Amino acid sequence: MSIITTSEPGLAADYEQHGVVQLRALLSPAEVAEIRDVFMEQVDRDRSIGHDDSIPDDDVLARYPRFVHPHRRSDLAIGRLARRWMLDPRIVGPVIDMVGPVHAAQSMFYFKPPTARGQALHQDNIFLQAHPETCIAAWVAIDDCDAENGGLKVVPGSHRYEIVCPDEADPEESFTSTEITLPDGFSTQQTELAAGDVLFFHGSMVHGSGPNRSQDRFRRSLIFHYVPVDSTEISKFYNPLLRLDGTEVAIAETADGGACGDGWMPAAPH
């Protein structure tokens, strides 16, 4: 099953059917280089703003922690850049085509250097807890991404299932501790993205990635999440949201969710 689409008129139908679509070369090489250089300069200068994932000091991810909500750091170049791209029509336009008017909820940047562990299969709305609608991700490739350097694996069609409480993940493969068990009849599909491509996917679609097994290739990505304006609740971690004009708006908060899916426990043995 292909997840590639190159003609925007088919976006909504492809998204509804598969839960994931890929648009090629939305960002130019120069734009990709600017994002890469600004984030690398920040992590080289001061990585203390990285998210605390309780990574051991001897893990390469301690040197390159993921940045969560950089768009809120208007005092930093990465913050201004993340906010600009978070609201850019080239990103937001396809999102609106697929799900209608939205608010921006989250920005993230993953470095994923060589030898870094991946992130086990999961569903994004476990974290955002957007209701009654779900979130949609825009995953911007800053490097060429494939199986070798830990590119995303997706499960097309899994977005039609309810959010699944995860089981424990393999700590040798994943820096996160939980993993989705796929329903019968579903399997992962490896994506391959060139730098500047953007992968859009549904908040209930199962996805994840393996370790970066390359010797010298980063797998950097700039990621945004959006929620339909009709959403009435979201996890506290994501308030305030941004309207597309850049002004803030807050909605009611759910009890669960959060940066690490707080409130969700591994499923009981059965």
Q: What residue spans define the domains of the chain?
A: 8-254
Structure confidence at residue 164 (pLDDT): 61
Q: Is the pLDDT of residue 170 over 70?
A: no
Instruction: Read off the pLDDT of residues 9-45 as tens digits, 9 standing for 90 and up.
Output: 688 999 999 999 999 999 999 999 999 999 999 999 9
pLDDT-above-70 percentage for the chain? 86
Phi, psi for residue 36 in degrees, rounded to 5: -55, -50
pLDDT band of 259, cuts 50, 70, 90: low
Distances (CA, A) of 225 to 85, 92, 146, 211: 12, 10, 22, 23
pTM value is 0.89
DSSP 134: -
Average pLDDT for the chain: 88
Q: Which residues contact 230 (CB under 8 A, 6 or more apart)?
A: 100, 132, 133
Structure confidence at residue 126 (pLDDT): 85
**Pick from 240, 225, 196, 245: nearest CA to 87:** 245
3.30.1330.10, 2.60.120.1440, 2.60.120.620, 2.40.110.10: which CATH number matches 8-254?
2.60.120.620
Of 15-29, 161-175, 255-269, the range with the lowest mean pLDDT is: 255-269
Which amino acid belongs to residue 115?
A: T
User: Would you call 173 exposed, middle or buried from its count of C-beta atoms within 10 A (0-12, 13-18, 19+)?
Assistant: middle
